[in-house]
Chains A and B, each alone.
Chain A
Amino acid sequence: MEGSHAVAHAVKYCRPQVIAAYPITPQTHIVEALADMVANCHLDAEYITVESEFSALSACLGASAAGSRVYSATTSQGLALMFEVCFNCAGMRMPVVMSIVNRALGAPLSIWNDQQDSISLRDSGWLQLYAEDNQEATDLHYLAYKVAEDRNILLPAFVCFDGFILSHTYEPVDTLTQEQVDRYLPAYRPLHRLDSEDPMSFGMFASPDYYMEFRYQIDKAQKDAAQVISRAGKEFGEMFGRDYSEMVEGYRLEDADCALVAMGSICGTAKDAIDEMRRDGKKVGLLKLRTFRPFPEKEVRSALSGVSRVAVLDKNISLGAKGAVALEVKDALYGTQVPVLDYIIALGGRDVRKKDIRGVVEMAEKGKGDLFYGLRQEVL
């Protein structure tokens, strides 16, 4: 099954009542599939064909405020256009779930994959989950709704998976059944909604006397989400056999000298490369981050504080600084002696192969890092 279609099936089983979306490559297959389900009565949802991504998320915000479970999907420029609404959704505590089919941001224009788009919204208050493969991409949608709608959280959530590499790739996926999903994810019961029987004002302005407390509460909900994700992930594992109780996942880390850190589909390539390097006697492991917001600081520290060096594979760059993941990992390891080296890699769809992972590890062993990996010097 194509990744996009597997996700569309998962979304359908989550029973969203309102969907608003706008076409953009490489996200489009998801919303096309959902439109087809609605057109053929396989999905009982209101589907709004909005005139921009900005309106897509605005419509989701309105529908969520009125009491519906909502869904949208986007990527790259579309997400950038939603920037203002993203902060608003989180600030207004609307549990919108949105698929981010990760893609580079222009200029230059690129339709190919990296993770700059969702990473750039790291401060918006949305939960951010990253999938390694299409199975995880589908499963994380169930988890995202469960966590986002938890009454102690009430935050919107991105489910991020790599454009083309996952969205357009065919893999076997267990999408569960409607009955299974219904057992895991009960119908949405909003805590507050726009209702003439119980009128409330939503989205008021806050003076300096109140603003900080609102921001504090969003941050607290983000941090509290760690436990809720863990609980929801455990429950998922108990029901369906795939456990997501950990926000991070270690691969051959136990005795590793060099630990790679990565998010998304690159983890699969890294695991294969690690197996090869292990056969050659190199003690390499991987820490995969499934959750980027909330940032699993304690888990990262605990997983990495025993290794000799950390090499972060960043599919993004905070221009003028470093990759966003490396910055967070450094922060988590502050006070330990573990060196963290950053590798900006795979931007704009640049392919990463096992030999590139090996190349990163070799550089890290020499203490060489904090660079763009694999630049073509001849075009610079």
Chain B
Amino acid sequence: MAEESCTLFESGHRACGGCAAALAARTILDAAGKDIIVVSATGCMEVFTTPYPETVWKVPWIHSLFENNSAVASGIIASLKKQGRKEKVIAIGGDGGTFDIGMLCISGAFERGHDFLYICYDNEAYMNTGIQRSGATPYDASTTTSPAGKCSMGNRRPKKDLPMILAAHGAPYVATASVAYLPDLKKKVEKGLQTEGPCYLQVHAPCCTGWGFEGEKTMNIGKLAIETGLWVNYEMEDGKVTKVKKVVRKPVDAYLKEQKRFRHLFKPSRNEPEIAKIQAMADRNAERFGIDIKLKK
């Protein structure tokens, strides 16, 4: 099984050691199988997988531009329909290509109801260009365009709620996942492909280079995001939350202090008010999605 999965996403790509996006891609293809066409946006994944004349993709794959993978996918779907072909289509983009520059094309494709699965590997900044903030960058994260400094605590805005925005387009299936829970990710890819219509899957993909942690800790960081309530794994069907990953929550410190992008919250001294704000965000997530497991005494 494992060997078979590797054959569709070949080894030898140029991702950083510990890259969650590469792991996500391998898992996505494992779930999708060979009868799939992948449309990539410009970004880390596109670059580390396809330096001409080499490719890791053992499925038909196309990259056109940064912001148009959903529109390209729309055309492919129309063409396949006209030809009576049965391949499914997955569009993949990072958070920059998805939350920001590709938003118009995604909105258009979802509104038109094309049958495809859009997967965002969300590493919470423009990593390919050197860690600039995006609409997916979390509150207080230090990036190269939202650096923490004497008069800044890093990124000033919370993450855009893209799953809700796309659910509001009438998407029949919207879900979040994490590379820290690969079997769950795989199931959600399968479900997204089985569900007719435009589906959206947002995969939390910790970036060791951009977030500042050692590559072997990718899975731990991903788990901590979920265990602190700062990332919630859930599914929405026809606009309603139907499944949520529940946890025994840890304080947000456990997640924040492991990453250089939040280091300014702890050094030179612990910034209590800012950490309290982030804790409040986690608490709101917990309440909104009901993620807390109540332990019996």
Chains A and B bind each other: yes
Chain A residues close to B by CB (< 8 Å): 17-18, 20, 45-46, 48-52, 54-55, 58-68, 70, 84-85, 88, 92, 194-196, 198-207, 210
Whether the pair B76, A66 counts as a contact (CB closer than 8 A) is yes
Q: Which of B53, B59, B112 is A199 in contact with, Cβ under 8 Å?
A: B59
B111 — which chain A residues lie within 8 A by C-beta? 51
Q: Which of B35, B52, B72, B87 is A204 in contact with, Cβ under 8 Å?
A: B52
Q: Which of B34, B47, B65, B81 is A58 in contact with, Cβ under 8 Å?
A: B65
Nearest-neighbour CB distance to chain A for B191, whole angstroms, equals: 20
Contact with A along B59-94 (1 / 0, CB 8 A): 111111101101111111011111100010000000
Contacts A52-B104, A88-B65, A205-B50 known; A70 to B37 CB distance under 8 Å?
no
Contact-size category for B: 35 or more
Chain B residues close to A by CB (< 8 Å): 34-37, 39, 46-47, 50-53, 55, 57-65, 67-68, 70-76, 78-83, 87, 104-105, 107-108, 111-112
Taken together as a complex, chains A and B put the C-alpha atoms of A350 and B67 apart, in Å, by: 37
Q: Which of B47, B61, B62 is A62 in contact with, Cβ under 8 Å?
A: B62
B112 — which chain A residues lie within 8 A by C-beta? 48-50
B55 — which chain A residues lie within 8 A by C-beta? 201, 204
Q: Which of B35, B70, B72 is A61 in contact with, Cβ under 8 Å?
A: B72
Whether the pair B47, A205 counts as a contact (CB closer than 8 A) is yes
Taken together as a complex, chains A and B put the C-alpha atoms of A265 and B284 apart, in Å, by: 65
Taken together as a complex, chains A and B put the C-alpha atoms of A196 and B87 apart, in Å, by: 7
Taken together as a complex, chains A and B put the C-alpha atoms of A59 and B71 apart, in Å, by: 5
Among B50, B53, B72, the most chain A Cβ lie within 10 Å of the Cβ of B72
Among B50, B53, B62, the most chain A Cβ lie within 10 Å of the Cβ of B62
Taken together as a complex, chains A and B put the C-alpha atoms of A88 and B42 apart, in Å, by: 13
Whether the pair B64, A85 counts as a contact (CB closer than 8 A) is yes
Whether the pair A68, B82 counts as a contact (CB closer than 8 A) is yes
Among B34, B39, B58, B79, the most chain A Cβ lie within 10 Å of the Cβ of B79
A61 — which chain B residues lie within 8 A by C-beta? 64, 68, 72, 75
Taken together as a complex, chains A and B put the C-alpha atoms of A201 and B55 apart, in Å, by: 7
Whether the pair B72, A62 counts as a contact (CB closer than 8 A) is yes
Taken together as a complex, chains A and B put the C-alpha atoms of A65 and B111 apart, in Å, by: 23
Whether the pair B68, A205 counts as a contact (CB closer than 8 A) is no
